[in-house]
Chain A
Amino acid sequence: MKVRHRAAVTGAMLVVGFMLAGCQTDAREGTNMTADEARAEMLQHLDAVTNVVGSEWADRYEPAKFSCGLSQGEGQQWTADREGSISGAAQVAASAVAEYLDARGFEVRTRENSSTDIDVIARAPNGLDIQFGAVDDGFAYVSGQSVCVPRE
């Protein structure tokens, strides 16, 4: 089932507000989080990224739970994947996303595949991964992989 996400002006304002306030991601150890907390944290950042970029987004699939590896055994994590499109330069959208994630303590790398094709790859201190990519006036995606938490 595809779920539509429209970037609301209010959402964007909230994000800008957070950015100005310099809010940081809670750098808890992932293994102390519950699966629900890990999911909520991931979705919060995905929502924020789509709001920063604007435009319409669709889930490729409902956020889903998968197994993952922990040093103490098998864990679980959530993933989500959204697609949309941007109008304007990929560089501008990527910069806004990178700035947002950097302000929240993510380690951020911007990969310029070409001048019109940019990816932003980010990892939070607790292991949460967010990836964003876009081409000028065209396709964009954002995906998230939550921190791996022990099975409940």
Chain B
Amino acid sequence: MTRKLGMDPEHVLALSSRLTAQVGRLDVVAAQVDEVAWASLNPVSYAIQPGGLVIAPWAIVGTQVAAARVRQAADDAAVLASSLVFQVLQQQAASAAAGSSPFSVPSVRGMLVDAVLRDPRLLGAMTAGQVAAWWASLSEAERSRLIEKHPLLIGNTEGVAYADRDRANRLALDAMLADKSIGGGQRGALEAIRDAIDEAKKRGEPVQLMILDFPKGADPRAAIAYGDLDTASSIGILVPGMNNTVEKSMVSLGTAAYNLYREQSILLAKAGSGESPAVVAWMGYQTPGAFPDPAVLREERAQVGAGYLAGTLGGLCSTLGPNPHLTVFAHSYGTRVATYALSEGASADSLVMFGSPGIAEGVNSVTDLRVEPGEVFATRADADRIAGLGLIGSGNLDPTGPRFGATPFSSEGSSGHDGVDDHGMLLAEDSNGKQQGYMDSGTDSLRDMALIGLGRGGQAE
């Protein structure tokens, strides 16, 4: 096998043009600051507040915008610089070793650990596959140093072993819960995550905190997995629909994930199998509110969510390889998220859509999705009025319709208490009494989902 010694010219040129663009952005900011400086000479720019305080509103806003742009440009430039550092390290490794992994050279591996400790943004310059290879090469002590120094970053980097992500995220969660300056919605989200983990403990089940993320200007993101992602024979990702947040929904989404996990565990135990499943309660995107929130009628939240979901799916493939059977279980608006993700690069072994009010624009049949042939399944209960309303007159494609080509399965049940009679994932109680959701224990829909997630979709009815 030949190895390239020296940088890939095309890659260097691409990085160079991106750096040039960053410098251009700094020029724009400099011009903006100049403009603010000139404006400060104009008496009209000033105002007097009650109490006699003299302010310059335009200048304040202008300098704040400029400062934000400088910080963004500096961040982007740092990631690009880290990318170059990583390229150099790879070249050094390639020069030093004939082996297939650059990380088999202890000095290079150690250099990369030190570089990440100094500047964690270096991880952003590596693919999930590169991170997985590097992480697998580290000693326990090296992993611990990185986790303790940068818990949130390590906890949310695709390619890091899931047990280590869990350790890192729990460190970060504990630290944030102990931080009394954190309040409001962020504290509510943290407490909901803690409660969901506590519920898993009450059930005596292993649980991993897979994602703990607080993106600027958007809802917190989190994901909790029942089971052990690193060793599971099957992994299900549960993608919720509208009107959910970490604060409001992490516990109930965890219960739905547990129901599926437990059903799969029972199926495996009945078969005498020693394998074990994992199911992820993936509150990984900012869902739209319920109608009349206009966001629920638009595509943006689904498209942004699809990017996050693609990251999670890609990370699982890169970290674990092709062995676990990977299934996306998408509910309601989550079917839009999933179909965008699976039509734009991400892939899964199976896809289950339930209670869908319509899927991604441009996806017309199962062949538009990167899912194994015959492994796209869909159901919608007759009594699910919300999903039904979403389909009426909207032009949205119904994934349970024959034109789409998914394999239908029933959510009606065969007696009074086992059919789905609501739009929700889980049982709710209203003035008419208990209403069964798609993922309630004892429903045929839950059993069929469990079978599909284990790669036994042929037995779903």
Contact = CB atoms under 8 A, between A and B. Distances in A.
Contacts of A129: 441-442
Contacts, number: 62
Interface of A: 60-62, 64-71, 79, 81, 83, 107, 109, 111, 117, 121, 123, 127, 129, 131, 133, 135, 138-139, 141, 143, 145, 148
Chain B's interface size range is 20 to 34
A138 B254 CA distance: 29
A67 B202 CA distance: 12
B204 A60 contact: yes
Interface in B412-430: 414-418, 427-430
Contacts of B434: 127
A121 B272 CA distance: 22
Contacts of B2: none
A69 B427 contact: yes
15 contacts: A60-B204, A61-B202, A68-B427, A71-B430, A83-B269, A107-B415, A109-B414, A111-B444, A121-B417, A121-B418, A121-B442, A127-B434, A131-B441, A138-B270, A141-B269
A67 B441 contact: no
Given A62-B204, A67-B251, 5 more contacts: A79-B203, A121-B417, A129-B441, A141-B266, A148-B429
Interface of B: 199, 202-205, 251, 255, 262, 266, 269-270, 272, 414-418, 427-431, 434, 441-442, 444, 447
Nearest to A130: B442
Contacts of A61: 202-205
Which 7 residue pairs spanning A and B have beta carbons closest together?
Answer: A61-B204, A64-B202, A109-B415, A121-B442, A139-B269, A123-B417, A135-B270
A27 B203 CA distance: 28
Contacts of A68: 427, 429
Q: Which of A70, A71, A83, A107 has the most CB of B within 10 A?
A: A71
Contacts of A133: 266, 270
Contacts of B269: 83, 139, 141
A68 B251 CA distance: 11
Given A69-B428, A83-B269, A139-B269, A60 B203 contact: yes
Contacts of B251: 67
Nearest to A120: B442
B441 A107 contact: no
Contact of A64 (B203, B414, B417, B418): B203
B226 to A, nearest CB: 13
Nearest to B432: A71
A65 B195 CA distance: 13
Contacts of B205: 61
Contact of A69 (B417, B429, B447): B429
Contact of B262 (A81, A111, A139): A81
Contact of B270 (A107, A109, A117): A117
A124 B126 CA distance: 56
Given A64-B203, A123-B417, A129-B442, A70 B429 contact: yes
A35 to B, nearest CB: 15
B427 A71 contact: no
Nearest to A116: B270
Contacts of B416: 107
B431 to A, nearest CB: 6
